[in-house]
Chains A and B, each alone.
Chain A
């Protein structure tokens, strides 16, 4: 009896695996059959027998060890020193729309400082009826709002102007994060001080050694700008401006001043270093655009992508990515698998919201052949994300900032992906 079953077993397995192979060939997407019982199921595993860690093992939890590659990364050759530098959000490995603070990109001009709440002061001065000083506690007593917004560095994708350069969505598009902010409208604080009629701008400034400061038209300051102290429900991280940062929805990240210490109402723009020598966009003829604050509509496929290759072979494939617009909400995203010849409407995970990231999916049946994968965003103002060629035609290759062109990933038959440009 036992001999019999021993003889039968292999032939049965052979039959099953043969059938599975035929099934894949014929249907193209049949579920794979097991070659034999899976020991992960048939054997009692250690984790199902012994106990795990107790509560309080990590009073503030970190991602499990198996996710340790999902981290911010720096491109060393970009800057002279990490103290005045930038790193990149691992967007290729994230899903949904909210960026966890711990892996949200950092950009410092003089390093991330440690400023205690009791030492925090915010001054409103300039063309106001009463110049005021607020403590952190004062800020917490003003009526508060909760809003989700993306923050994108104007230089995101900036290394790609002259050609396909960095091989990964994290590096080409990772100067972005999307958080839920809790804070006080800047308008409320300005009204508390009383803006004089001749006030037309605010100059906002940080408390760190860089004194990073930007001029913002009063109209925007009175519209949707927030003085935020919480992100995703908890205190801001030091690298994002703890205890208080400015949130300037839809506008370039450099204006989102961290460690906000002063708001000065002025008649004209201050024309600080960051709004003249930097964050201005040089065109082909050598003239430069200034005050290019708003972030144009943009999208990128985050998976598959160079750091997130296809590992499962042909069949069902989830193509996913992110889309956003500084002018409003995302109304649609199209995906092309043939380098922009033909487009398929993607499915938005949720309707686009104002100046926040939108997740899109294309549920695709991959036949295993090469793809030139692209995404194209449309926003509520009717703007359609341009191709790289269209953008270069309008701006040349020297702008550094505001590169919102359509990105192409070359997906090979092996499932590996590469950053490429196409005709």
Chain B
């Protein structure tokens, strides 16, 4: 009995010393199943660990890229607006404004494969097949003049590709190269002879206006009220719009949100603002630059009826060859119906 008591005291002391270095296991959690690990353990290391079997050529890559990536990254990986440029910039790293791309900057090809596979396309991540990823990566290499147009990338030749800036990196050396910043006793008086202003932020004038922002915040309240009032009117008028459908349509619309805005204050993003789109003539939203295909359809008199919209949303690329909408399509009819009702709730 007394023996046990001693043991108990000893372990109690151990526990009171914060958390012991070699804590006993608590037996919490459960073993991960192989299928679960396979589903999440997707990262690819520089030595190719994690690459699945597969291959893709430049030609296929160009097609997949045009369909799924070009809307943001441009047809030639040159980048649209502020979206990342993936090609070019060779030899600019020491310039005033270096252009950092896969070709000019990225040290490992594994990073490209891994990132495209897990994080792209933006708004539809993890939707690519391994062969598509190989093809896209092959095309990005081609855009950077690193391979010729006959090239096929696979897990077998993956490590043969040489990245131009592979040796362009050094380990963090701040503690040695900046050792002079460790100067325990800095100067306190008469540290310099003169002080002149050499540059002013007001000259550039790129700061968001505080007053404008305040006004916007103040306006936001009545604006939101107006919206809800409008929404009420719309619902009253169009009794056919089922609130549940609107709600589920709103969820589906999350897939569209990375490119489209809707509602009060909606602006054009990668895609046009969508207020009043259902029932409208195609290609007529003011201020948006449409693809040739969409312009042609507009000239042909296409109107976004429920039926046309449903067909477009089911398979955009098949419905309209050449559309810039790089979205694979909604597979479920329920989702299509719901999102159209949701779109209708913003006018038609």
Contact of A152 with B by CB under 8 A: no
Report the nearest A residue to B107, measured CB to CB.
A276
Residues of B within 8 A of A130 (CB): 31
Query: Taking chain B's interface residues, is the majority helix, strand, or loop, or is none over half, making it mixed?
Result: loop
Residues of A within 8 A of B108 (CB): 271, 276
Question: How far is B98's CA from A334's CA once the two chains are assembled, in angstroms?
Answer: 36
Taking a contact as CB atoms under 8 Å apart, the answer to whether B204 and A165 are in contact is: yes
Residues of B within 8 A of A133 (CB): 29-32, 36
Contact of B9 with A by CB under 8 A: no
Taking a contact as CB atoms under 8 Å apart, the answer to whether A192 and B199 are in contact is: no
Question: How far is B42's CA from A166's CA once the two chains are assembled, in angstroms?
Answer: 40
Taking a contact as CB atoms under 8 Å apart, the answer to whether B19 and A343 are in contact is: no
Taking a contact as CB atoms under 8 Å apart, the answer to whether A203 and B192 are in contact is: no
Total count of chain A residues near the partner, CB < 8 A: 104
Taking a contact as CB atoms under 8 Å apart, the answer to whether B170 and A131 are in contact is: no
Partner pick for B107 among A71, A271, A338, A390, CB 8 A cutoff: A271
Contact of A296 with B by CB under 8 A: yes
Contact of A31 with B by CB under 8 A: no
Stretch at the interface among A53-61, A95-103, A280-288, A354-362: A280-288
Taking a contact as CB atoms under 8 Å apart, the answer to whether B195 and A338 are in contact is: yes
Partner pick for B174 among A69, A71, A145, A296, CB 8 A cutoff: A296
Contact of A290 with B by CB under 8 A: yes
Contact of A421 with B by CB under 8 A: yes
Partner pick for A418 among B32, B177, B190, B200, CB 8 A cutoff: B200
Taking a contact as CB atoms under 8 Å apart, the answer to whether A131 and B269 are in contact is: no
Residues of A within 8 A of B107 (CB): 271, 276
Contact with A along B181-200 (1 / 0, CB 8 A): 11110111111101111111
Contact of B150 with A by CB under 8 A: no
Taking a contact as CB atoms under 8 Å apart, the answer to whether B200 and A343 are in contact is: no
Taking a contact as CB atoms under 8 Å apart, the answer to whether B269 and A272 are in contact is: no
Report the nearest B residue to A126, measured CB to CB.
B41
Residues of A within 8 A of B22 (CB): 191
Contact of A367 with B by CB under 8 A: no
Taking a contact as CB atoms under 8 Å apart, the answer to whether A285 and B82 are in contact is: no
A192-B28, A422-B195 given as contacts; is B111 within 8 A of A287 (CB)?
A: no
Report the nearest A residue to B188, measured CB to CB.
A343
Q: Which of A130-170 contact B (CB under 8 A)?
A: 130-135, 138, 141-143, 145, 163-168
Report the nearest B residue to A172, measured CB to CB.
B201
- Most B CB contacts (10 A, CB to CB) among A141, A163, A271 go to A271
Contact of B312 with A by CB under 8 A: no
Contact of A241 with B by CB under 8 A: no
Contact of B23 with A by CB under 8 A: yes
Taking a contact as CB atoms under 8 Å apart, the answer to whether B197 and A420 are in contact is: yes
Contact with B along A65-79 (1 / 0, CB 8 A): 000110101111101
Partner pick for B32 among A123, A282, A376, CB 8 A cutoff: A123
Question: How far is B210's CA from A185's CA once the two chains are assembled, in angstroms?
Answer: 41
- Most A CB contacts (10 A, CB to CB) among B23, B32, B170, B192 go to B32
Q: How many CB-defined contacts (below 8 Å) exist between A and B?
A: 268
Residues of B within 8 A of A73 (CB): 208, 213
Taking a contact as CB atoms under 8 Å apart, the answer to whether A292 and B118 are in contact is: no
Taking a contact as CB atoms under 8 Å apart, the answer to whether B32 and A131 are in contact is: yes
Taking a contact as CB atoms under 8 Å apart, the answer to whether B195 and A213 are in contact is: no
Report the nearest A residue to B183, measured CB to CB.
A384
Report the nearest A residue to B269, measured CB to CB.
A81
Instruction: Return B33 CB to nearest CB of chain A, in Å.
Output: 8
Report the nearest A residue to B42, measured CB to CB.
A211
Taking a contact as CB atoms under 8 Å apart, the answer to whether B110 and A410 are in contact is: no
Contact of A307 with B by CB under 8 A: yes
Residues of B within 8 A of A185 (CB): 19
Taking a contact as CB atoms under 8 Å apart, the answer to whether B19 and A372 are in contact is: no
Contact of A188 with B by CB under 8 A: yes
Given contacts A77-B82, A286-B168, A372-B195, 11 further A-B contacts (CB under 8 A): A81-B270, A110-B125, A163-B204, A164-B199, A164-B204, A192-B28, A209-B126, A271-B45, A343-B186, A384-B186, A418-B200
**A interface residues (Cβ-Cβ under 8 A, vs B):** 68-69, 71, 73-77, 79-81, 83-84, 109-111, 123-126, 130-135, 138, 141-143, 145, 163-168, 171, 185, 188, 191-192, 194, 203, 205, 209-213, 261-262, 264, 266, 268, 270-273, 276-277, 280, 282, 284-294, 296, 306-307, 334, 338-343, 372, 376, 378, 381-386, 390, 394, 397-398, 410, 418-423
**B interface residues (Cβ-Cβ under 8 A, vs A):** 19, 22-23, 25-26, 28-32, 36-37, 40-47, 72, 81-83, 93-94, 96-98, 100, 102, 105-108, 110-111, 114-115, 118-119, 122-123, 125-126, 168-174, 177-178, 181-184, 186-192, 194-202, 204, 206-208, 210, 213-214, 217-218, 257-258, 269-270
